[in-house]
């Protein structure tokens, strides 16, 4: 898959610390994921969950601990992130999860999953066909009506820079150095491939999904649930 972002070196080793700083309610969002999935799937039944861009394995760990009968497949293009996930998930029961270094389009489309998650991934892909290709690859690997949970940086009705300003104020209040805040928010504005909520919905329709339900927003971060059509 083109335009993919691969975390390596310090970016991988410091990811868990950094994302909790820059995404104010990251832990809360991660804690929501299992129950959101549980609103579509019975936690007492066996179900298969595909975690695209699994990173260091946080959501995989939360999902398995919530529903031990669920089988979780994690995929990430970063070898180092997958290695960190292996360490984090070592406490889980054997056979409850599987990790693969790669991308979703490399998975066999003969295996269909009951649900999928896509957290903080689309923002790294250009809207030149790469975002759509990822969504299509997920749709090909999901059962009909399977839920897809998305959490991503987005632009709400043209207020992106205003939302970034609110995030900056929060970070400064948390004691983050002003130079770090300026560098980080400049990176977000100029380097992140954020899109509007309307554009996200267009891509979801084109990619094989239905109407998205937004379940949360904090500053530039939004969360949605949609279903495979």
Pairing of strands 213-218, 221-227: antiparallel
Structure tokens at 186: 């400049």
- Is residue 61 domain-resident? yes
| pLDDT value at residue 4 | 52
| pLDDT value at residue 14 | 83
- Is residue 75 domain-resident? yes
| pLDDT value at residue 7 | 65
197/201 Cα distance (integer angstroms): 6
The answer to whether the Cα torsion of 35, 40, 43, 46 is positive or negative is negative
Question: Which of 151, 89, 141 lies closest to 115, judged by CA?
Answer: 141
214/179 Cα distance (integer angstroms): 33
Instruction: Report the CATH number that the domain containing residue 150 is assigned in CATH.
Output: 3.40.50.150
List residues bridging with 50 in a β-sheet: 73, 116
What does DSSP assign to residue 25?
A: T
- Is residue 140 domain-resident? yes
How many structural domains comprise the chain? 1
- Is residue 174 domain-resident? no
Domain ranges, residue 110: 10-155+193-227
Q: Are 81 and 12 in contact (CB under 8 A)?
A: yes
- Is residue 185 domain-resident? no
- Is residue 2 domain-resident? no
What does DSSP assign to residue 52?
A: E
- Is residue 37 domain-resident? yes
Q: Please calculate the CA angle 98-71-2 and round it to the nearest 5 degrees.
A: 50
- Is residue 52 domain-resident? yes
Mean pLDDT by 10 residues, the chain (229 residues): 57 84 95 97 96 97 97 97 96 96 97 98 98 99 99 95 98 97 97 97 99 97 99
């Amino acid at each position: 898959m083109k335009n993919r972002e691969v975390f390596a070196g310090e970016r991988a080793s410091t990811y868990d610390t950094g994302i909790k700083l820059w995404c104010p309610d990251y832990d809360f969002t991660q804690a929501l994921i299992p129950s959101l999935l549980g609103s579509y799937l019975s936690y007492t039944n066996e179900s298969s969950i595909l975690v695209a861009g699994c990173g260091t394995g946080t959501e995989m760990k939360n999902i398995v601990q919530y529903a031990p009968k669920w089988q979780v497949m994690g995929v990430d293009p970063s070898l180092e992130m997958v290695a960190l996930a292996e360490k984090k998930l070592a406490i889980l029961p054997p056979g409850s999860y599987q990790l693969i270094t790669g991308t979703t389009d490399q998975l066999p489309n003969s295996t269909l999953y009951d649900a999928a998650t896509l957290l903080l991934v689309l923002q790294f892909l250009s809207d030149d066909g790469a975002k759509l290709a990822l969504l299509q690859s997920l749709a090909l690997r999901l059962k009909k009506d399977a839920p897809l949970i998305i959490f991503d940086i987005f632009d709400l009705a043209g207020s992106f820079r205003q939302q970034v300003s609110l995030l900056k104020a929060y970070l400064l209040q948390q004691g983050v150095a002003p130079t770090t805040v300026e560098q980080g928010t400049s990176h977000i504005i100029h380097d992140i491939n954020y899109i509007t909520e309307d554009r996200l919905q267009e891509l979801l329709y084109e990619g094989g999904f239905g109407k998205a339900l937004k379940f949360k927003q904090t500053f530039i971060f939004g969360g949605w649930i949609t279903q495979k059509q």
